[in-house]
Amino acid sequence: MKTKILTASLIASALFAGLAATPAMAQNTNTPNIDQSQAQISARIQQGLQSGRITPYEAQMLYRRDQDIQSREALYKSDGRATPAERQQLRADVAALSAEVERAINNSSVVAVPQPGNNLGGIDSREFNLRARIEEGVRTGRLSQREGDRFMAREEQIERREAAFRSDGVVTQQERRQLRQQLNVLRDQVERRINPRG
């Protein structure tokens, strides 16, 4: 009986202390607009990724920046108060990230305008197929995990180059040719490793 009363007393004290502290903390750490904006940014990145307007590499970089902002926000809130200057910095960072997401989506839509030779759909499709082939090779044991990681790193390097080409909104014929050539060389190396002729 004494244990139950003591437990109830401790719970009540903790609740009272929590309720008493909550308004002050909420006043200093409340960032609903920032949190809402971050949720919208994450959804927008996902939409861009699913529609093919943002490459997996671009999405990875954007998500990493979003995570950095969330980590800084948690740090600001960790002492129970986020100063007006800290909240302003978070808002500026979120606005910059949002603009970057929209730029990536719009740059891709500019690049993907169906003009002769200006569509990267074929390159994106080759990248996707190559990743799937590498994963299949590792899964079936035809490639070691180390070989798969090495091939995947090279494929990601090609994706980074593609993202750099896309960044100004124009992918030239020479840049497309360079991407296709690099993908073809890597694909041939993967295939030779998966299906050795002996």
Does one domain contain both 133 and 160? Answer: yes
Closest CA to 31 of 73, 1, 75: 73
Q: Is there a domain that residue 93 lies in?
A: yes
**Do 147 and 169 belong together in one domain?**
yes
Closest CA to 34 of 79, 87, 108: 87
Question: Which residue range(s) make up the domain with 83?
Answer: 31-111
Helix (H) or strand (E) holding 161: helix 145-166
Q: How many structural domains comprise the chain?
A: 2
* Residues 172/113, Cβ–Cβ less than 8 Å: no
pLDDT at 14: 43
Residues 37 and 81 in one domain: yes
Q: Which of 111, 135, 155 is the last residue of a domain?
A: 111
CA torsion 56-59-63-64 (nearest 10°) is: 70
Is 19 among the domain residues?
no
Local confidence pLDDT in tens for the 198 residues of the chain? 444 444 444 444 444 444 344 333 334 456 677 888 888 888 888 888 788 777 777 788 788 888 888 888 888 888 888 888 888 888 888 888 888 888 777 765 443 333 344 455 578 778 888 888 898 888 889 999 999 999 999 998 998 888 888 887 788 889 989 999 999 999 999 999 998 875
Question: In this structure, are 106 and 128 located in the same domain?
Answer: no
Same domain, 66 and 129: no
- Domain edge (last residue) among 90, 111, 132: 111
Looking at the structure, do residues 134 and 69 belong to the same domain, yes or no? Answer: no
Task: Please give the model's pTM, rounded to 2 decimal places.
Answer: 0.46
The radius of gyration of the chain's CA atoms, rounded to the nearest angstrom, is 25
CA distance 152 to 157: 9
CA distance 111 to 179: 14
What span, in angstroms and rounded, lies between the C-alpha atoms of 195 and 198?
9
Which residue, among 171, 140, 141, 137, has the nearest Cα to 152 in the 3D structure? 137
Torsion-angle region of 169 (φ positive above 0: left; ψ -120 to 50: alpha; else: beta): left
The answer as to whether 55 is a domain residue is yes
Do 93 and 46 reside in the same domain of the chain?
A: yes
